[in-house]
Structure 1
Amino acid sequence: MENKAHAIAAGLFLLLLGLALAASVAWFQGDRTERVHYTVVARSGVPGLNLKAPVKLRGVEVGYVDSIGFDPADPRQILVDIAVDAAAPVSASTFAQLGLQGVTGLSFIGLEEADAKAPLTRAAPGARIALKPTLLDRLAESGPLLLAGFAETADRLNALLSEGNRAQLNRSLVQLEQAAGDTSRLMAALQPGARELPVFLKDADATAQRASAALREIEALAADSRQLTQELKTRVAVLDRLDGAAVQLQTTTRNLELALVGDTPPRTRPLVADLSAASRSIERAARDVGEQPQSLLFGRSGQPPGPGEAGFDARLKAGGSK
């Protein structure tokens, strides 16, 4: 009986010890963190997402997936209930995306801020968070369009690289090569001229300077010519007045001669003759100046040589040649 009593006592002790160990493990593994629940709304699928999958906010794990199911109000939507640490800064502008956990194919929910610089406004408990497609999801959705575009591009390339177009392209390349050779020869021919171009430009500059100086001299000569013309006009006006005076003097002298021819005393006749000669001299001088007004500035030109004078024969030859 004593042996049975000891066996029963040992069995009870082991049972109690096992229960105590199980309670300790349950105590230490229990989650006593305060959680806030949010609902992630997915319009597309959630492949690889399981219960207890981690929830990360900007890469930091802050919770887990509590449940996954279809929306009773709209079966095309999937509702994912997540439990997040109450201290996690989940704002009203937070959105969710699916991420991959390594190479296992399992997914997790990543929470991101739409505007990280905006003031933080915490989301209310139970708020809905939109699940946005990732880059891979967008590529998968646009895959058929990309394939159709690639196929169309391939068809156009095949049409572009037809036999006729390839022959035309070969001819164009040959012509381009010929044009490049012609250009090289032209450049080689232009090099000597290009080397002489600085000297030519220097000569052109010097010529331009000389032309400018010549223009200034021409302007000075034109000014002198205008001044000389004005002086000649003044002198011609004076000569005109002198000619008029000489004509008036000659007329007066002739009238005087006619008046005195009958009863002029002999001793006054020489005076009248002198007056007549003087008037004729004045008239001749006025006529010469009128014919050659430049003689007032440059002097009278010499009379051409007459017969027997030096230069007469040369003048005759010159006149004959003309």
Structure 2
Amino acid sequence: MNPRINYTLVGGFVIALVLVGLFFIGWLTKDNRNADRLLYKTYFYDSVSGLNERAAVKYRGVPVGYVEKISLISDPTERVRLMLRLDSDLSIRSSTYATLQYQGITGLLFVELQSTAPQGDVLLTSEKTPATITSQGSRLVEMTEKIDQAIQNFNQLTHSLNNLTQQLSVLTDQTVQQQLVDLLASLEQLSITAEQRLNAFDPEVYQQTARQLPIYLEQLQNNFTKELQQMGQQLQHLSEDTQASSRLLSPLLLQAETLAEQLRLESNTWLRGNRTQPAGPNQ
């Protein structure tokens, strides 16, 4: 008889063997330095396009860590913050600065650490308060950005040239050309007419008029002043005559008033006359 085969045990053994193999491979490829790496931070004010998390951090070309996190900070100014994991045996000093560099021709970026001088205080860092590494703009990145800007300007120039070509093609149309010819002819005719009018204008007449105008204005002013003086004199004479007439009129008014009073008192006399009444029979 053939012994029975337990497929469950066989499958479990295979799975366990695979897990052990994966664990062994992971143990071999594990970077034990991560547990000993310290946390730092740096800030960039330029674009970090092409830089990814887990990107390499190198010191003078030697890998010393990686980028752990990339975040955008806007307080107090807008900037990009990079959290770096660096080897604990690496001396990060106050003279150390970080730049962005291109990795080959892939277009990807990595962080390059350099130091202006070996002297300087060592930066103390911790998980809660990571030390800040100063940053500088990369000349290669700046040159690349300038090249991109130049390409954009060139594209705009090409677009402008295309528009100019289209406009020139419109100007070559027969109708537009005829309109331009008519416009130039009208301008020429206008110029000739203006020149003729300027030639017909006599400056001597204008100068003579300008010389006589003050004299005429002065005469007009003198005549107007004389008229005003004569009018004033006539008004004064009229006032004097009015006063004399009022003085002569006053006695006449008194006499008229006296006459009216007499007429009122002697009204019966005027009505009956001076005849006397006849005597009665007993008289």
Please, what TM-score do these two structures have when normalized by structure 2?
A: 0.46
Higher relative contact order by CA 8 Å / sep ≥ 6: 1 or 2?
2
Give the structure with higher Rg (CA): 1
Please, what TM-score do these two structures have when normalized by structure 1?
A: 0.41
